[in-house]
Homo-oligomer: A and B are copies of this chain.
Amino acid sequence: MLVVMQAHATAEDIRAVCAKIETLGYRAHAIPGAERTAIGVTGNQGEVEVGTLEEMAGVQEVIRVTKPYKLVSRDMKVENTVITFSGSEATFGGPGLAIVAGPCAIENRDQAFAIAERVQRAGAQFFRGGAYKPRTSPYSFQGLGEEALEIMARVRESFGMKIVTEAIDHESLELVEQYADVIQIGARNMQNFSLLKRAGRAHRPVLLKRGMSATLEELLMAAEYVMSEGNYQVILCERGMRTFADHTRNTLDLSLIPAVQRLSHLPIIVDPSHGTGKRNKVTPLSRAAVAVGADGLIIEVHHEPDRALSDGMQSLYPDQFDELMVQVKQIAPVVGRRVPVIGEAAAAANRKGSTRLTIGANS
């Protein structure tokens, strides 16, 4: 259910309606829009008694939401959600494309810095790197854990990029929340509802990857899990789905982008690295992702892909990433986007050698 407030409703009106909702045994989610605030009501299995709510000061109307998702819906919030970061021009969902790049896994400090230096220079505003790797085999490299998180915190220090990294359970989420700027939930955990709820109580934006065989509705419902716990900063990500096709590792489904944008106010980015699993497909599909209207890209880059501990076959060489960014910058304006440059001054200053380690400084 959705309580739409009048344009001139006061903060006090909103607080009162929320309090009333809680009194009735539900949960209130006040989400301010450009013109008016909407208050989502969740926790109701069946009908909510709306009578009293409709009569309250500042309430314009009470709408029954028949879709299974509520908080993720454009019914709840007409404007796009824009996720911002303190001290950075980078956003998810704003006019600037979010460019996230880095290695599949953090292997050591030198590797991370070598790659970070290249992707930042080419235009990435976010640095990705795996600390906890969900691997098909228990005997494969599972990531460096907290050590990797520390390395990424230093990358942020030095290059001004914000950090995106995956959490695979409650324990790792705890640490990722401390060190990183965006908590990634991987495709295999898209319906790990316990982890989603935990992410919903975190104080960081959540990058939620579509499961390998998830429908659009299941993806939105997974985001709803996060939002229903109070964390409204969710970024969706298409990363390819499992089909019979064997010329790519997964089938990248770019039609998901406009489909999500119709139904939801949440930003959605594309991962052509996992989405194709083949280096030579990453650049053309990245171009296509920007052209289709995605809010950003997340791309694996490695300076020595043949020696990567995981996913080398799909990682771009830094030179290829440079070229890709040139093409992305040309296509972006056609769809009314641009690639923001993260503060040159700040970056330069950072590079000069500030050694202070600020963990999760932008929370």
Chain A residues proximal to chain B, CB less than 8 Å: 42-45, 68-70, 134-141, 168-172, 188-189, 191-195, 197, 212-213, 215-218, 221, 224-225, 228-229, 241-248, 251-259, 262, 275-276, 280-281, 284-285, 287-293, 327, 330-331, 334-335
Closest 5 CB pairs of A and B: A213-B213, A291-B291, A169-B194, A288-B288, A188-B191
Would A244 and B247 be within 8 Å (CB), given that A137-B224, A138-B224, A281-B255 are in contact? Answer: no
Q: Is the CB of A289 within 8 A of B287?
A: no
Asked whether, in the complex, the Cβ of B45 is within 8 Å of the Cβ of A141, the reply is yes
CA distance A255 to B314 in the complex (A): 14
Q: Which residues of B are found within 8 Å of A218, using beta-carbon distances? A: 136
Given contacts A45-B141, A215-B247, 16 further A-B contacts (CB under 8 A): A68-B136, A69-B137, A70-B139, A134-B193, A138-B197, A138-B221, A192-B195, A213-B244, A216-B247, A251-B251, A252-B254, A258-B281, A258-B284, A284-B292, A284-B293, A291-B331
Q: Which residues of B contact A228 (CB under 8 A)?
A: 138-139
Q: Are A255 and B241 in contact (CB under 8 A)?
A: no
One of B43, B139, B191 near A43 (C-beta < 8 A): B139
Complexed CA–CA distance, A332 and B176 (Å): 42
Complex CA distance for A49 and B137, rounded to whole angstroms: 21
The listed residue (B135, B139, B216, B221) touching A137 by CB distance below 8 A is: B221
Tell whether, in the assembled complex, residue B137 and residue A68 are in contact, meaning their CB atoms are under 8 Å apart: yes
CB atoms of A285 and B254 under 8 A apart: yes
Contact partners of A292 in chain B: CB under 8 A: 284-285, 287-288, 291
Q: What chain B residues lie within 8 Å of A259 (beta carbons)?
A: 247-248, 281
A169, A197, A243, A284 — which one has the most chain B CB atoms within 10 A of its CB? Answer: A284
Cα A284 to Cα B253 in complex, Å, equals 12
List 29 A-B pairs, Cβ < 8 Å.
Answer: A68-B139, A70-B139, A136-B191, A137-B224, A138-B229, A168-B193, A171-B194, A188-B191, A189-B192, A192-B192, A213-B213, A216-B246, A216-B247, A241-B243, A241-B245, A241-B251, A242-B244, A243-B244, A243-B251, A245-B256, A247-B256, A248-B255, A255-B284, A257-B284, A284-B291, A288-B291, A288-B292, A331-B331, A331-B334
Which residues on B sit within 8 Å (CB–CB) of A42? 138-139
Q: Considering the chains assembled together, what is the distance between the CA atoms of A293 and B258 in angstroms?
A: 20
Q: Closest CB of chain B to A175's CB: distance in Å?
A: 13
Partner of A291, one of B43, B136, B290: B290
Contacts of A216 in B (CB 8 A): 245-247
| Among B168, B215, B251, B287, contact of A253 (Cβ-Cβ < 8 Å) | B251
Name the residue on B nearest A226 (C-beta): B138
Which chain B residues border A285 with CB–CB below 8 Å? 254-255, 258, 292
| A334 CB, nearest partner CB in chain B, Å | 4
